[in-house]
Every structure is written in structure tokens, then in C-alpha cells.
Amino acid sequence: MKQLVSAVVVFFVGAIGAHAGTIHGKVSGAKGQSVVYIDATGGTFPAPTKHAEMNQKGLMFSPHLLVVQKGTTVDFKNEDSVEHNVFWPSISGNKSLGHNMGTWPQGQQRSFTFQTPGVVALLCNVHPDMSGYIIVSPTPYFATTSNSGEFTIANVPNGTYKLTAWNQAGKGKTQTIQVTVSGDAEANINLK
């Protein structure tokens, strides 16, 4: 199992008022796409009614990396002519949250609602080389970065948040950075 990378950035999006801003930034120090989300302390967010999709296609999880808001139902599909299984041993290392969805053939789907924020490392017990990730964000304010790490999170209410960046490829690390902003916020996170 690859190690998880986590970086925490504390920043301030304005001081007072019901305004919303946009967070721009870049995740560096790790290859490929990362996921970025904020943890809005004390905020509650209704669960999305729209389902997300995780396919198994060409003997791969597709997308390889999916980020959803807490409370989202994910529809797991099999588009291959062979049977696939879906299981995760834990969520962010908590083995009591591990789950096996079972094994099913092409054209069928099974659904699961993710209620706990964290990292869900997907595996298939039919094909040991298959892996994928679902990141469950505590808030609706999340983004998947470009391959070079750039991201934008729009319409974030003014406030003080923790920002977490996660990448499957690097070493684990947590860092704290203060970013002071007027208007839009900028957060550059080095996972090295």
C-alpha cells in the first residue's frame, strides 16, 4: 500500500461578511493529480442527491482518483467482460470502516454512501494489480488538481479553514502555512 500524503494549510479568506472567494493554488512535490479540500469547522452541508460514478473498465478503476463530498452515494459499475470485485481495507487507516462490496459481472452496479471523510483505497480481489482512490471531503469545497498540480476551489464563504492536499505518490507529511488574503486566496502546498 502506498503511503498517503497530507498537508494542512491554515489560511484566512477575509475577515467579516457573507462574501465568497475563490481559492487558487498549486500542489507541488508529488507527481500527478492531487486532491485538495477544506475542512470548514462547525459547518454542516446537506448530502448531495446526485450520485458519483466509479467504473471498472479495461481492468482499471476509472477514474483512478475520485473526490466526493461526505454523504455522496457512489455507483460502482463494471463495464468489463470479466467479473470484478470492489473492496477497501480501511478509510484513512480505520479498519472498522473497511468494506467489501462483493463481486459482480458486466452491466451490473452496486452503490455505497460514504459518510466518513477520508481516503478510501479501492482494490479488486479478482485482479490484485487494480487500484483506485475515493477521497471523501468533509465539505463541498474540493478540487482535483491538474497533472501539474494547479487547482481552483470556487465560492468558498469567507472564513478560516484548514486546507488539506492529498496525493497517492509521495511520503506522508503535514505542514502548516498561514496565507493572508484580501479577496481571493492563494495556497501553494509543497508535499515534499
Q: Which residues bind Cu ion (CB under 5 A)?
A: 84, 124, 126-127, 130
The CA-CA-CA angle for residues 69, 8, 95, to 5°, reads: 60
**141 with 151: CB under 8 angstroms?**
no
For Cu ion, the closer of residues 1 and 82 by Cβ is: 82
| Residue closest to Cu ion when measured from CB atoms | 124
Least distance between Cu ion and beta carbon 126 (Å): 4
Smallest gap from residue 129 Cβ to Cu ion (A): 9
**Min separation Cβ 124 and Cu ion, Å:** 3
Count of alpha carbons within 13 angstroms of residue 130, beta-carbon side: 21
State how far the Cα of 146 lies from the Cα of 153, in Å rounded to an integer: 13
Q: What is the smallest separation between the CB atom of 130 and Cu ion, expressed in angstroms? A: 5
Give 123 or 191: the residue with its C-beta nearer to Cu ion: 123
Rg (CA), the chain: 17
23 or 130, CB closer to Cu ion?
A: 130
Whole-number minimum distance, CB 84 to Cu ion, in Å?
A: 4
Q: With respect to Cu ion, which residue has the nearer C-beta, 24 or 127?
A: 127
Give the C-alpha separation, 63 to 4, whole Å. 18
- Are 159 and 23 in contact, with CB atoms under 8 Å apart? no
What 3-state DSSP class applies to 96? helix
Contact at 8 Å (CB) between 36 and 142? yes
Taking the least distance from each CB to Cu ion, the nearer of 30 and 130 is 130
